[in-house]
């Protein structure tokens, strides 16, 4: 049941997504996205196979548009779980759709330990979890300082981080706009990043450095996504 304020909890959203109806809706939606998102926007992907690693994976893309998660979900053969803002999990219809597509709520206004614990459990059972290290949608070509959530989860679960640059999605559906417009979207998937953590823990200084390194890599991938692919 939803919480007294009407929102689904993390566990409820995850359970709904795992239900037979939820999985059926997810599979149908993925086919729809491949036909009506990837093709019209001529989504070009470099390093696609890196999204399909077996076992637990933290997928860490830049975030410029609400199209970002659907694009990655349509590209990968794996089902991705992802943290989405809590406001999307109030109301029966929207919360059902978000949960069925693999989402579970996170309170972006506070340090949401419950959401992180849910993400950790999903990784420990071998799932792929999408985490936006920038926290929320950004604008422009510069990757800002990142939150430490992706590195924290990877260190706790021994999961690799797969960084992703996405360019063109901001123009396709900018923040504040409801109607999309056709643009070309390019995705560049980086090499998996394996962290060194002892017993699932990292020193705060090591976590901060790993997060800074992730920011550098995301900037490199975002810049690469801005450039047209070379033709041989």
Instruction: Please report, for the chain, the start and end positions of each structural domain, with discontinuous segments joined by +.
Output: 44-83+107-226
Indicate if the alpha-carbon torsion angle 174, 36, 127, 217 is positive or negative: negative
The 3-state DSSP class for residue 8 equals coil
Report the pLDDT value the prediction gives residue 229, as an integer from 0 to 100: 63
- pLDDT tens string 56-93: 999 999 999 999 999 999 999 999 999 888 888 988 89
Confidence bin at 43 (pLDDT 50/70/90):
very high
pLDDT tens digits, 137-185 = 999 999 999 999 999 999 999 999 999 999 999 999 877 777 888 999 9
What confidence score (pLDDT) does residue 232 get?
A: 44
Contact 137, 64 (CB under 8 A): yes
76: which residues sit within 8 A by CB, 6+ positions away?
A: 48, 51, 52, 59, 128
Strand partners, 232: none
Q: 3-class SS at 129?
A: strand
The per-residue pLDDT for 5 is: 64
pLDDT at position 6: 73
pLDDT at 230 over 60: no
pLDDT at res. 102: 94
pLDDT for the residue numbered 2: 54
What average pLDDT does this structure show over 32-53? 94
| Mean pLDDT confidence for 90-100 | 91
pLDDT band at 228 (very low <50, low <70, confident <90, very high): confident
Torsion angles phi and psi, residue 60, rounded to 5: -125, 90
Please, what is the average pLDDT of the chain? 91
Per DSSP, the three-state class of 100 is helix
pLDDT band (50, 70, 90) for residue 227: confident
Query: In whole angstroms, what is the distance from residue 117 CA to residue 71 CA?
Result: 26
Half-sphere exposure of 213 (CA within 13 A, CB side): 13
């Amino acid at each position: 049941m939803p919480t007294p304020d009407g929102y689904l909890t993390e566990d409820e959203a995850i359970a709904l997504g795992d239900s037979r109806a939820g999985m059926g809706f997810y599979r149908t939606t993925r086919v729809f996205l491949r036909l009506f998102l990837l093709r019209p926007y001529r989504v070009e992907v470099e390093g696609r196979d890196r999204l399909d690693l077996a076992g637990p994976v933290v997928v860490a893309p830049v975030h410029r548009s609400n199209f970002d998660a659907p694009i990655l979900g349509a590209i990968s053969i794996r089902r991705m779980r992802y943290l989405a803002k809590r406001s999307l999990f109030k109301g029966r219809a929207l919360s059902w759709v978000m949960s069925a597509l693999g989402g579970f709520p996170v309170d972006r206004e506070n340090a949401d330990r419950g959401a992180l614990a849910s993400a950790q459990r999903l990784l420990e059972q071998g799932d792929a979890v999408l985490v936006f290290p920038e926290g929320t949608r950004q604008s422009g070509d510069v990757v800002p300082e990142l939150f430490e959530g992706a590195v924290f989860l990877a260190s706790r679960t021994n999961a690799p981080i797969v960084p992703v640059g996405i360019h063109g999605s901001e123009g396709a559906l900018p923040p504040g706009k409801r109607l999309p417009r056709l643009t070309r979207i390019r995705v560049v998937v980086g090499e998996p990043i394996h962290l060194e953590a002892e017993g699932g823990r990292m020193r705060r200084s090591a976590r901060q450095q790993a997060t800074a390194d992730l920011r550098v890599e995301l900037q490199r991938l975002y810049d690469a996504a801005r450039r047209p692919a070379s033709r041989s």
